[in-house]
Protein backbone atom coordinates (compact mmCIF):
# COMPACT_ATOMS: atom_id res chain seq x y z
CA UNK A 1 0.00 0.00 0.00
CA UNK A 2 1.38 3.40 -1.01
CA UNK A 3 0.42 6.67 0.70
CA UNK A 4 -2.14 4.66 2.68
CA UNK A 5 -4.50 4.16 -0.26
CA UNK A 6 -2.88 3.11 -3.56
CA UNK A 7 -2.11 -0.42 -4.77
CA UNK A 8 0.28 -0.88 -7.69
CA UNK A 9 -1.03 -2.73 -10.72
CA UNK A 10 0.57 -3.09 -14.17
CA UNK A 11 3.66 -1.22 -15.29
CA UNK A 12 2.85 1.41 -17.91
CA UNK A 13 6.36 2.44 -18.82
CA UNK A 14 10.00 2.32 -17.84
CA UNK A 15 12.83 4.79 -18.41
CA UNK A 16 16.33 5.39 -17.12
CA UNK A 17 15.06 7.59 -14.28
CA UNK A 18 11.76 6.02 -13.25
CA UNK A 19 9.08 3.39 -13.76
CA UNK A 20 5.42 4.31 -14.07
CA UNK A 21 2.60 2.08 -12.80
CA UNK A 22 -1.15 2.20 -12.87
CA UNK A 23 -2.45 2.06 -9.30
CA UNK A 24 -5.88 1.47 -7.78
CA UNK A 25 -7.25 3.87 -5.18
CA UNK A 26 -8.75 1.72 -2.41
CA UNK A 27 -10.62 4.81 -1.20
CA UNK A 28 -12.76 4.55 -4.33
CA UNK A 29 -11.20 7.28 -6.43
CA UNK A 30 -10.11 6.88 -10.05
CA UNK A 31 -6.98 4.95 -10.97
CA UNK A 32 -3.77 6.97 -10.77
CA UNK A 33 -0.23 6.88 -12.11
CA UNK A 34 2.60 6.17 -9.66
CA UNK A 35 6.12 7.12 -10.73
CA UNK A 36 8.84 5.24 -8.81
CA UNK A 37 12.50 6.27 -9.01
CA UNK A 38 14.56 3.65 -10.85
CA UNK A 39 17.44 4.03 -8.40
CA UNK A 40 17.95 5.10 -4.80
CA UNK A 41 20.56 7.74 -5.69
CA UNK A 42 20.35 11.43 -4.81
CA UNK A 43 19.97 12.24 -8.51
CA UNK A 44 16.92 10.00 -8.87
CA UNK A 45 15.34 11.28 -5.65
CA UNK A 46 15.93 14.88 -6.76
CA UNK A 47 14.15 14.31 -10.05
CA UNK A 48 11.05 12.77 -8.46
CA UNK A 49 10.83 15.44 -5.76
CA UNK A 50 11.47 18.22 -8.28
CA UNK A 51 8.61 17.01 -10.45
CA UNK A 52 6.32 16.72 -7.43
CA UNK A 53 7.18 20.26 -6.32
CA UNK A 54 6.53 21.67 -9.79
CA UNK A 55 3.24 19.83 -10.35
CA UNK A 56 1.96 20.74 -6.89
CA UNK A 57 2.29 24.41 -7.85
CA UNK A 58 0.27 24.06 -11.08
CA UNK A 59 -3.42 23.68 -11.83
CA UNK A 60 -4.41 23.55 -15.48
CA UNK A 61 -6.54 21.14 -17.56
CA UNK A 62 -3.67 20.58 -20.00
CA UNK A 63 -1.23 19.58 -17.24
CA UNK A 64 -1.49 16.32 -15.28
CA UNK A 65 -2.57 16.86 -11.67
CA UNK A 66 -0.29 16.16 -8.70
CA UNK A 67 -1.74 13.93 -5.95
CA UNK A 68 0.97 12.80 -3.49
CA UNK A 69 4.64 11.96 -3.01
CA UNK A 70 6.85 10.07 -0.58
CA UNK A 71 9.24 7.14 -0.18
CA UNK A 72 8.25 3.56 -0.98
CA UNK A 73 7.61 1.80 2.37
CA UNK A 74 9.22 -1.44 3.53
CA UNK A 75 7.59 -4.55 2.10
CA UNK A 76 6.62 -2.84 -1.17
CA UNK A 77 8.23 -2.63 -4.60
CA UNK A 78 11.60 -0.83 -4.44
CA UNK A 79 11.47 0.13 -0.73
CA UNK A 80 13.25 3.39 0.05
CA UNK A 81 12.88 4.74 -3.49
CA UNK A 82 11.16 8.08 -4.03
CA UNK A 83 7.70 7.99 -5.61
CA UNK A 84 5.09 10.43 -6.85
CA UNK A 85 1.37 9.93 -7.46
CA UNK A 86 -0.27 11.89 -10.25
CA UNK A 87 -3.39 11.90 -12.37
CA UNK A 88 -3.45 9.01 -14.84
CA UNK A 89 -3.14 10.42 -18.36
CA UNK A 90 -5.21 8.01 -20.41
CA UNK A 91 -4.59 7.68 -24.12
CA UNK A 92 -1.50 7.44 -26.30
CA UNK A 93 1.45 9.79 -26.50
CA UNK A 94 2.11 11.96 -29.52
CA UNK A 95 5.24 9.87 -30.15
CA UNK A 96 2.93 6.94 -30.89
CA UNK A 97 0.75 9.23 -32.99
CA UNK A 98 3.79 10.31 -35.02
CA UNK A 99 4.77 6.68 -35.68
CA UNK A 100 1.29 5.76 -36.84
CA UNK A 101 0.85 8.46 -39.50
CA UNK A 102 0.99 12.12 -40.39
CA UNK A 103 -1.95 14.05 -38.99
CA UNK A 104 -4.38 16.57 -40.40
CA UNK A 105 -3.50 20.21 -39.89
CA UNK A 106 -6.89 20.75 -38.23
CA UNK A 107 -6.22 18.12 -35.55
CA UNK A 108 -2.68 19.38 -34.95
CA UNK A 109 -3.98 22.94 -34.52
CA UNK A 110 -6.40 21.78 -31.82
CA UNK A 111 -3.60 19.95 -30.02
CA UNK A 112 -1.27 22.94 -30.31
CA UNK A 113 -3.84 25.30 -28.80
CA UNK A 114 -4.25 22.99 -25.80
CA UNK A 115 -0.52 22.44 -25.23
CA UNK A 116 0.43 26.11 -25.54
CA UNK A 117 -2.34 27.00 -23.10
CA UNK A 118 -0.77 24.64 -20.55
CA UNK A 119 2.71 26.00 -21.26
CA UNK A 120 1.45 29.55 -20.77
CA UNK A 121 0.28 28.54 -17.28
CA UNK A 122 3.68 26.96 -16.58
CA UNK A 123 5.63 29.97 -17.85
CA UNK A 124 3.46 32.41 -15.89
CA UNK A 125 4.52 30.48 -12.78
CA UNK A 126 8.14 31.26 -13.73
CA UNK A 127 8.96 27.70 -14.82
CA UNK A 128 10.37 26.06 -17.95
CA UNK A 129 9.57 22.43 -18.85
CA UNK A 130 12.88 21.86 -20.70
CA UNK A 131 11.84 18.51 -22.22
CA UNK A 132 8.91 19.13 -24.55
CA UNK A 133 8.78 16.22 -27.02
CA UNK A 134 6.10 13.91 -28.47
CA UNK A 135 6.62 11.33 -25.71
CA UNK A 136 5.75 13.89 -23.03
CA UNK A 137 2.47 14.93 -24.64
CA UNK A 138 -0.49 12.60 -24.05
CA UNK A 139 -3.72 12.51 -26.04
CA UNK A 140 -6.66 12.55 -23.62
CA UNK A 141 -9.73 12.44 -25.85
CA UNK A 142 -11.21 15.31 -23.82
CA UNK A 143 -12.58 18.34 -25.65
CA UNK A 144 -11.40 20.87 -23.06
CA UNK A 145 -7.85 19.50 -22.88
CA UNK A 146 -7.23 17.12 -25.82
CA UNK A 147 -3.52 16.88 -24.94
CA UNK A 148 -1.89 16.73 -21.49
CA UNK A 149 1.70 17.76 -20.77
CA UNK A 150 3.53 15.23 -18.57
CA UNK A 151 7.02 14.55 -17.11
CA UNK A 152 8.17 17.69 -15.32
CA UNK A 153 11.19 15.92 -13.83
CA UNK A 154 13.74 18.41 -15.18
CA UNK A 155 11.52 21.52 -15.13
CA UNK A 156 13.44 24.52 -13.83
CA UNK A 157 12.90 28.08 -12.70
CA UNK A 158 13.37 30.45 -15.63
CA UNK A 159 16.78 32.08 -15.56
CA UNK A 160 18.59 29.27 -13.74
CA UNK A 161 21.69 27.55 -15.14
CA UNK A 162 21.75 23.79 -15.80
CA UNK A 163 22.50 21.71 -12.71
CA UNK A 164 25.74 19.68 -12.80
CA UNK A 165 24.95 16.04 -13.60
CA UNK A 166 21.30 16.72 -14.50
CA UNK A 167 20.42 16.17 -18.15
CA UNK A 168 18.52 18.95 -19.86
CA UNK A 169 16.12 18.02 -22.60
CA UNK A 170 16.07 15.64 -25.55
CA UNK A 171 18.54 16.33 -28.35
CA UNK A 172 16.15 16.22 -31.32
CA UNK A 173 13.87 18.89 -29.81
CA UNK A 174 16.33 21.27 -28.13
CA UNK A 175 16.56 24.90 -29.14
CA UNK A 176 20.00 26.14 -30.26
CA UNK A 177 20.51 28.03 -26.99
CA UNK A 178 19.41 25.06 -24.85
CA UNK A 179 21.88 22.86 -26.72
CA UNK A 180 24.57 25.44 -25.92
CA UNK A 181 23.83 25.11 -22.19
CA UNK A 182 22.30 28.52 -21.52
CA UNK A 183 20.03 29.49 -18.63
CA UNK A 184 16.47 28.11 -18.67
CA UNK A 185 14.17 30.18 -20.88
CA UNK A 186 10.46 29.71 -21.73
CA UNK A 187 11.48 30.22 -25.37
CA UNK A 188 13.10 26.77 -25.21
CA UNK A 189 9.67 25.17 -24.81
CA UNK A 190 8.28 27.24 -27.69
CA UNK A 191 11.04 26.11 -30.06
CA UNK A 192 10.63 22.47 -29.03
CA UNK A 193 6.89 22.70 -29.68
CA UNK A 194 7.59 24.07 -33.15
CA UNK A 195 9.67 20.97 -33.93
CA UNK A 196 6.98 18.68 -32.45
CA UNK A 197 4.24 20.27 -34.58
CA UNK A 198 6.39 20.09 -37.70
CA UNK A 199 7.02 16.39 -37.06
CA UNK A 200 3.31 15.72 -36.59
CA UNK A 201 2.50 17.46 -39.87
CA UNK A 202 5.28 15.93 -41.98
CA UNK A 203 5.91 12.59 -40.28
CA UNK A 204 9.67 13.30 -40.05
CA UNK A 205 12.02 14.87 -37.52
CA UNK A 206 13.17 18.35 -38.49
CA UNK A 207 16.79 17.56 -37.56
CA UNK A 208 17.35 13.79 -38.02
CA UNK A 209 20.61 11.93 -37.63
CA UNK A 210 22.87 11.29 -34.68
CA UNK A 211 22.79 13.49 -31.59
CA UNK A 212 25.83 15.44 -32.77
CA UNK A 213 24.50 15.86 -36.33
CA UNK A 214 21.14 17.03 -35.01
CA UNK A 215 22.67 19.54 -32.59
CA UNK A 216 25.05 21.00 -35.16
CA UNK A 217 22.32 21.34 -37.82
CA UNK A 218 20.07 23.55 -35.70
CA UNK A 219 22.89 25.95 -34.89
CA UNK A 220 23.43 26.50 -38.63
CA UNK A 221 19.89 26.81 -39.96
CA UNK A 222 16.20 26.94 -39.20
CA UNK A 223 14.17 23.78 -39.86
CA UNK A 224 12.81 23.26 -43.36
CA UNK A 225 9.07 23.98 -43.41
CA UNK A 226 7.34 22.64 -46.55
CA UNK A 227 5.44 25.23 -48.58
CA UNK A 228 2.72 22.59 -48.98
CA UNK A 229 1.61 23.28 -45.39
CA UNK A 230 0.26 26.64 -46.56
CA UNK A 231 1.22 30.23 -45.69
CA UNK A 232 -0.50 30.37 -42.29
CA UNK A 233 1.17 27.23 -40.99
CA UNK A 234 4.47 28.29 -42.54
CA UNK A 235 4.33 31.62 -40.68
CA UNK A 236 3.31 29.95 -37.41
CA UNK A 237 6.04 27.30 -37.48
CA UNK A 238 8.68 29.80 -38.63
CA UNK A 239 7.92 32.06 -35.68
CA UNK A 240 8.04 29.17 -33.20
CA UNK A 241 11.41 27.97 -34.48
CA UNK A 242 13.10 31.34 -35.00
CA UNK A 243 16.86 31.10 -34.45
CA UNK A 244 16.76 34.09 -32.09
CA UNK A 245 14.80 33.27 -28.93
CA UNK A 246 13.51 36.83 -28.64
CA UNK A 247 11.72 36.49 -31.98
CA UNK A 248 9.59 33.56 -30.82
CA UNK A 249 6.06 34.21 -29.50
CA UNK A 250 5.18 33.65 -25.87
CA UNK A 251 3.08 30.57 -25.09
CA UNK A 252 -0.14 32.55 -24.69
CA UNK A 253 0.41 34.28 -28.04
CA UNK A 254 1.25 30.91 -29.63
CA UNK A 255 -1.97 29.44 -28.22
CA UNK A 256 -3.95 32.29 -29.80
CA UNK A 257 -2.12 31.77 -33.11
CA UNK A 258 -2.96 28.05 -33.01
CA UNK A 259 -6.59 28.87 -32.22
CA UNK A 260 -6.81 30.87 -35.45
CA UNK A 261 -5.74 27.73 -37.34
CA UNK A 262 -8.56 25.66 -35.83
CA UNK A 263 -11.49 25.45 -38.29
CA UNK A 264 -14.83 26.73 -36.97
CA UNK A 265 -17.22 24.05 -35.78
CA UNK A 266 -20.12 23.49 -38.18
CA UNK A 267 -23.29 25.17 -36.97
CA UNK A 268 -26.14 22.79 -36.12
CA UNK A 269 -29.53 23.45 -37.66
CA UNK A 270 -32.28 24.79 -35.33
CA UNK A 271 -34.08 21.46 -35.59
CA UNK A 272 -31.00 19.46 -34.58
CA UNK A 273 -30.18 21.85 -31.73
CA UNK A 274 -33.61 21.39 -30.23
CA UNK A 275 -33.91 17.66 -30.79
CA UNK A 276 -31.84 16.39 -27.82
CA UNK A 277 -33.71 18.61 -25.35
CA UNK A 278 -37.06 17.56 -26.83
CA UNK A 279 -36.17 13.86 -26.57
CA UNK A 280 -34.99 14.36 -22.99
CA UNK A 281 -38.29 15.98 -22.04
CA UNK A 282 -40.25 13.24 -23.79
CA UNK A 283 -38.27 10.53 -22.01
CA UNK A 284 -38.90 12.19 -18.65
CA UNK A 285 -42.61 12.17 -19.41
CA UNK A 286 -42.55 8.52 -20.43
CA UNK A 287 -43.30 9.31 -24.06
CA UNK A 288 -41.58 8.41 -27.28
CA UNK A 289 -40.92 10.67 -30.23
CA UNK A 290 -41.30 9.51 -33.81
CA UNK A 291 -37.94 9.00 -35.58
pLDDT digits (tens, 9 = 90+) for 172-192: 999 999 988 889 999 999 999
pLDDT at 282 over 80: no
The CATH classification number of 94-259 equals: 1.10.510.10
What CA–CA distance (Å, rounded) separates 147 from 266? 22
Query: Over 90: is that where the pLDDT of 35 sits?
Result: yes
CATH number of 6-87: 3.30.200.20
Q: What's the whole-model pTM score?
A: 0.86
Q: What mean pLDDT comes out for the span 232-242?
A: 98
Q: Is-contact 153 47, C-beta < 8 A?
A: yes
Distance of alpha carbon 71 from alpha carbon 79, whole angstroms: 7
pLDDT at position 218, please? 86
Q: Is 31 a catalytic residue?
A: no
Q: At CA 139, angle to CA 134 and CA 143, rounded to 5?
A: 135
Catalytic residue among 131, 151, 185, 189: 131
Binding-site sequence positions for ATP: 35
Q: Is 160 left (phi over 0), alpha (psi -120 to 50) or beta?
A: beta
Other CB atoms within 10 Å distance of the CB of residue 218 = 23
Is the model's pLDDT at 289 over the cut of 60? Answer: no
Domain segments of the chain: what residues?
6-87, 94-259
Residue 264 has pLDDT above 90, yes or no: no
Region of 151 (left: φ > 0; alpha: ψ -120 to 50; beta: rest) is left
Amino acid sequence: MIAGRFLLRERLGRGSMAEVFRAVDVAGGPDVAVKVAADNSDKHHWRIHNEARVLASLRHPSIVRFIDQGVMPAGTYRPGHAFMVEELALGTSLSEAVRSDRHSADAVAVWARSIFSGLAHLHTAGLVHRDIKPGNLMLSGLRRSPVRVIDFGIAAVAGTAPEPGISSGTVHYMSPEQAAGGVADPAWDIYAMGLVLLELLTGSKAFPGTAVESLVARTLRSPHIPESLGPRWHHFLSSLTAMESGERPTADVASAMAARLVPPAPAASPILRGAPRLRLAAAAAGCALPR
